[in-house]
């Protein structure tokens, strides 16, 4: 007999309690060890507030009790080495991956208790995004707008605006499957923007994107933040995060190592130097002596 998947809305509520599985190996955690409940007056809620977020894949603890507050109206960078848990944390924070433990509030709304209302506030560019690539670029953005319940006229106007702003107008009628990696990233970003969300969560938005397009995207995002929106970007490019973001969190081994304004976190150093200090793990390359040609 076919097994009916359980609708997400009807899943039992998440446990807020401490996880039953063993704690991850000790890491230099600067964040509070015990999750503190979010406390904020109505109207001043952070755009995103996560408490005690945990996720384990088999024996691997990918996210080990993350607490994070992203102020409304901020441009927030999330940085960390490969495998740090950024994508896993962002997936749980945006309703794409169910946490084992913990809570997620979007503008004060419990996302996992109210997934439909919560997701209306969100625009998401997931990592390794899989799109309906047998649609053209214009069709894909239109589809995203209609899926969000927008009227056809507004969708058509905004689709044209987004294609123009992201330099994709000439390829509006090309199938997405025939787009380059950078074009695919841009069309996915356009699909995340069409409903003018309150909070944009972008996993590696600049990966594979050329410098001119990256500058255009930065301008779009700066304008969005200036008008009251909140952006969270994950990136490996420290220089970009230092220039572009006003807040940053450094994640490694599933823990938040430091979080705050960019100036607080970098503490007088460049963000890159501070990142290397915090995360450590520089490898010696002596073992690769065979690779040297002379």
Q: Which residues bind ligand ATP (CB under 6 A)?
A: 57, 60, 62, 80, 82-88
The minimum distance between CB 275 and ligand ATP, in angstroms, equals: 13
By beta-carbon proximity to ligand ATP, the closer residue of 84 and 155 is: 84
By beta-carbon proximity to ligand ATP, the closer residue of 46 and 80 is: 80
By beta-carbon proximity to ligand ATP, the closer residue of 80 and 137 is: 80
Following DSSP, what letter does each residue of 129-172 receive, concatenated? ----TTSBHHHHHHHHHHHTT--HHHHHHHHHHHHHHTT-GGGT
Q: How far apart are CA 165 and CA 143, in angstroms?
A: 18
The minimum distance between CB 62 and ligand ATP, in angstroms, equals: 3
CA dihedral 103, 107, 113, 116 (to 10 degrees): -140
Please name the residue that has the structure tokens 């987004």: 162
- 67: phi then psi, degrees, rounded to nearest 5: -115, 135
By beta-carbon proximity to ligand ATP, the closer residue of 82 and 289 is: 82
The minimum distance between CB 287 and ligand ATP, in angstroms, equals: 22
> Can you count the helices (H) and strands (E) in the chain?
9, 10
The minimum distance between CB 84 and ligand ATP, in angstroms, equals: 4
Joined tokens for residue 99? 């946490």
The minimum distance between CB 276 and ligand ATP, in angstroms, equals: 15
| Burial per residue of 141-165, b for 16 or more beta-carbon CB atoms within 10 angstroms, e otherwise | bbbbbeebebeeeebeebbeebbeb
Return the number of other C-beta atoms located less than 10 Å from residue 23's C-beta.
Answer: 12
By beta-carbon proximity to ligand ATP, the closer residue of 83 and 280 is: 83
């Amino acid at each position: 007999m076919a097994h009916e998947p359980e609708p997400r809305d009807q899943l039992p509520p998440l446990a807020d309690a401490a996880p039953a599985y063993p704690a991850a190996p000790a890491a230099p955690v600067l964040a509070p060890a015990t999750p503190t409940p979010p406390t904020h007056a109505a109207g001043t809620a952070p755009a995103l507030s996560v408490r005690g977020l945990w996720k384990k894949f088999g024996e691997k603890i990918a996210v080990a009790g993350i607490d994070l507050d992203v102020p409304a109206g901020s441009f927030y960078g999330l940085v960390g080495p490969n495998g740090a848990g950024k994508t896993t944390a962002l997936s749980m924070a945006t309703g794409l991956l169910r946490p084992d433990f913990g809570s997620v509030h979007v503008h004060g709304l419990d996302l996992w208790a109210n997934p439909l209302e919560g997701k209306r506030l969100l625009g998401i560019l997931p990592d390794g995004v899989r799109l309906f690539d047998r649609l053209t670029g214009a069709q894909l953005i239109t589809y995203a707008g209609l899926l969000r319940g927008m009227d056809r006229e507004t969708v058509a106007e905004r689709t044209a605006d987004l294609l123009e702003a992201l330099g994709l107008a000439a390829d509006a009628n090309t199938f997405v499957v025939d787009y380059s990696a950078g074009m695919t990233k841009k069309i996915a970003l356009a699909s995340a923007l069409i409903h003018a969300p309150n909070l944009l969560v972008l996993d590696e938005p600049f990966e594979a994107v050329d410098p001119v397009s990256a500058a255009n995207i930065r301008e779009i995002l700066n304008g969005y933040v200036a008008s009251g929106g909140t952006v969270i970007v994950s990136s490996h490019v420290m220089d970009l995060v230092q220039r572009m973001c006003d807040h940053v969190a450094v994640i490694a081994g599933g823990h938040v190592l430091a979080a705050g304004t960019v100036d607080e976190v970098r503490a007088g150093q460049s963000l890159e130097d501070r990142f290397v200090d915090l995360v450590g793990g520089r490898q010696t390359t002596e073992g690769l002596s065979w690779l040297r040609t002379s």
